Amino acid sequence: MNARPFRKVLVANRGEIAVRVLTACRTQGLATVAVASEADASSRHARLADELVLLGPAPARESYLVAGKILDAARATGADAVHPGFGFLSENAAFARAVLDAGLVWIGPPPEAIEAMGLKVPSRERMKAAGVPVVPGSHDLSAEHLAAIGLPVVIKASAGGGGKGMRVVRSEGELAQAIESCRREAEAAFGDPTLYAERYLEHPRHIEIQIFGDVYGRVVALGERECSLQRRHQKVVEESPSPVVTPSLRARMSEGAVAAAQAVGYVNAGTVEFLLDSDGSFYFLEMNTRLQVEHPVTEEAWGLDLVTLQLAVAAGEPLPEDLPTAPVAHAIEARLYAEDPENGFLPQTGTVLAYEEPGGPGVRVDSGIETGSEVSVHYDPMLAKVVARGRTREEARRRLVDALGRTVVLGVATNVSWLRRLLETPEFVHGQFDTSFLSRFEVPPSPEPPAEILAAAAGVHSAGDGRSAGTAQRAFPDPFAGGAFRVLG
């Protein structure tokens, strides 16, 4: 790593994470450079930076994913450091190495650590050697080896993520077809058909540990995040601390996470993910070599600023000696997506006609949108993260339910009302859920609005932006959301 002081940071990302990083840089007195596709030229993150460089057409493969364009932008603006945010090139070891080779500071882990943890089969073996508990598994997919693991098993892509190239196999008769389909998906999604198998845990919880390392070899764990509420392997609601992790379990999981990070010479922010079985056993799942989407719940629960800490470590500063060893509050985060829960959660696009964020005690919103923003088909549909902090879990939950009820998004369908009803389920209230909860429980749909409200909304929207009444008539006050509007079409 070439940790050293720097004065101007280029943020190689977009949306809410770019806003988050740019804000932290400005708070620390650092000059900032944003990059943006042509579609994002007038976006919130593009306007927030001191300088803006346009990368090209909207598709990410022609803009945000072109490493050469980002390095050219750094050279043209005199940026001496690059923060990758998350997504796009954040876990691309070749890009990290190119940044370092260009003489710039890379605000992230060493390329070698990214490579070591990027492929699941080698990383599993490395973790086993480091003494970190690993789910029993094999890269030999013969029926004999899988029988030794014990059915059911889950077939996974070694280079995978997000549920792609993954199948649960419950009988030998399903094996051949599952392997064939996983290989096909893995090759298409990641360019690597390598697979492996693990024992399938029926009802685990997904717990991740925030770790941080400095250039002097010190690695610390900064608590856990509960990430079990997932839909199609994508996290929906996260919280810290977990309602089921005791101080002794936290200590054991933290010890395993630190060992995992030390095994690859880790520096800067990272996350070690575990599956927690119902008997209290936990197993290494994977390591995310970047800042996570859900990092705000750690910040709010533990009283930290992880992005500022990233900047300090990248500049060569040691980790502070007085980092917290226990949470000081409880925090819950809900991801606000442009999607239609009542139509298969299909991603939505369009213009945000009105946007209003909630405020109040303990409420935080990280967003990249504003009134007038365009929600494009080219990028992830996450619009914002609504976070609530409280002295207790129940206080945080109530504040988040209220905050979501005061979140206004007009013009595109969102999951805001669906999230609110999810947080009111008895299972969530009592912390009794696992990674399969959302697959076996359907949150009730919204009640249909009165006809007069449909007509009024249709008139307002068709008059305001020229759209037909058919595209606007489903805007109405959500009875579950304290008068905030939701738009479903």
Q: Is 371 exposed, middle or buried (0-12, 13-18, 19+ CB in 10 A)?
A: middle
Task: Please confirm, yes or no, whether 290 is among the known catalytic residues.
Answer: yes
Classify 103 as helix, strand or coil.
coil
Please state, in angstroms and rounded to a whole number, the distance separating the CA atoms of residues 69 and 53.
Answer: 9
- First and final C-alpha spacing in the chain: 49
Q: How many angstroms separate the CA atoms of 142 and 137, rounded?
A: 12
Q: Which amino acid is at 317?
A: E
- β-strand 153-157 against 167-169: which pairing, if any? antiparallel
Burial class (CB in 10 A: 0-12, 13-18, 19+), 386: buried
Is-contact 376 42, C-beta < 8 A?
no
- Identify the three-state secondary structure at position 203: coil
Written as six digits, the tokens of 3 are 């940790």
Q: Which residues contact 290 (CB under 8 A, 6 or more apart)?
A: 84, 85, 86, 90, 91, 108, 109, 269, 270
Taking phi first (over 0 means left), then psi (-120 to 50 degrees means alpha), and beta for anything else, what does residue 303 get?
left
Q: CB-based contacts of 122: which residues, under 8 Å, 6+ apart?
A: 116
Of the residues 205, 290, 393, 406, only one is catalytic, namely 290
Tokens of 255: 């010890």
| DSSP sequence for 321-363 | TT--SS-SSEEEEEEEESEEGGGTTEE--EE--EEE---STTE
How far is the C-alpha of 21 from the C-alpha of 85, rounded, in Å?
7
Q: How many CB atoms lie within 10 A of CB 272?
A: 28
Structure tokens at 41: 């030229």
Q: Catalytic positions, please? A: 290
